[in-house]
Structure 1
């Protein structure tokens, strides 16, 4: 008999505030948001890659004191990377700490072993306490992630247009030799854009479609979306049509940071690849796309 933990209830005083923290700050996926009436509501959210979800509720026998939950643990393969993401998202946290006796913690030092003993602690707005623990050797298929950074010769407001205005997207979307004949954009949280890249004749000349479904839109600083593989009508392609090692939906996080001289530092992160080979192929394509974007702004 297999017993699977599916949901943990997190006691909160304000469901809307809690939803905003877990979805917008931490990047949890909102699975359900149900309002039975003015008094009854429950929201279910799932951490990226997790098989277990959390629920925050109002009106359903609230016998747990908001903020009283302790011992919630999120497991990651790289706690330093997790800490960097929490900082980027504006979540106050302990920094990376290690335990040597299971009860006390000290700041991590360069060279410390972190597997099983490396943590980052944080709390939600109600005071429910979470720990992020590094366990990189856990069984199962690891994911392979990537990050690519470029400096654009454009102020951050103009660089934002490269992701939000069709005439900009069609100038850089697709690796070297590819063109983009279409970009139907709906850049808002919950919105979905449709983009197309056209292969050069020597590679078949076919049109390849993707949708970008937005989870977070913070102009002009940050976009988070999932990229899906579809046809021209936005219908998902069958699993067998997706390259091996590439996830069904590829999580993308785009950040834009102004730097000196009216320029912008752009970083694109992709996560969830099942093999290093699939990640490396995607990295090569992304680098070529972003090189086209760099050239585009130099020509404007």
Structure 2
């Protein structure tokens, strides 16, 4: 994920949920929309290598940001590597989400390499917010 010229981050957490539930939260559109700040009905996922995804994220001030990309690697219940389309850039930004079993709990790691320190800091802040929201979603249970 890094050509050696980028600025990377990695975030790791242990979640109180089994691997399958965490995987489902990341790969089921209605679950993803509920914890990833996405507008209801805006999430589409074709979870397979080369499959596309899209979502419209709603920021705290109500701004709607459309996001698109593709799945680069998919290893069910273990690894999801996403390509994220970036306006004005030929190659997608890449983020990896890796899962590991820790008894009944799940270790999750999110990794990304960015072009600048500013991009890395913004991406790391966004990923931290996602992990916080995912933690809340899993503690409440997916059915609502």
Per the alignment, residue 210 of structure 1 pairs with: 67
TM-score, normalised on structure 1? Answer: 0.44
Quote the offset at 1:199 in angstroms: 2.2
Per the alignment, residue 57 of structure 2 pairs with: 197
Contact 2:80 2:96 in 1 (8 A): yes
Per the alignment, residue 158 of structure 1 pairs with: 21
Structure 1 residues 193 and 292, CA gap change in structure 2 (3 angstroms): same
Per the alignment, residue 105 of structure 1 pairs with: none
Per the alignment, residue 228 of structure 1 pairs with: 85
The match for 2:93 among 250, 253, 262 is 250
Distance 1:180 1:173 in 2: 9
Matches within 5 A, 1:134-145: 142-145=5-8
The structure with the greater share of residues assigned to helix is 2
Unaligned runs of 5+ in 2: none
Q: Give the number of the structure with larger relative contact order, counting CA–CA contacts within 8 Å between residues 6 or more apart.
A: 2
Per the alignment, residue 138 of structure 1 pairs with: none
The match for 2:109 among 253, 256, 267 is 267
The match for 1:283 among 124, 131, 134 is 124
Following TM superposition, where does structure 1 have runs of at least 4 consecutive aligned residues deviating by more than 2 angstroms? none
Larger Rg: 1
Contact 1:251 1:270 in 2 (8 A): yes
Aligned pair count reads: 140
Distance 1:188 1:268 in 2: 19
TM-score, normalised on structure 2? Answer: 0.87
Quote the offset at 1:248 in angstroms: 5.3
Distance 2:78 2:116 in 1: 30
Per the alignment, residue 292 of structure 1 pairs with: 133
Quote the offset at 1:278 in angstroms: 1.8
Q: Secondary structure at the match of 1:180?
A: coil
Computed over aligned residues only, the root mean square deviation of the Cα atoms, in angstroms, reads 2.0
Contact 2:69 2:92 in 1 (8 A): no
Note if 1:184 corresponds to 2:15.
Answer: no
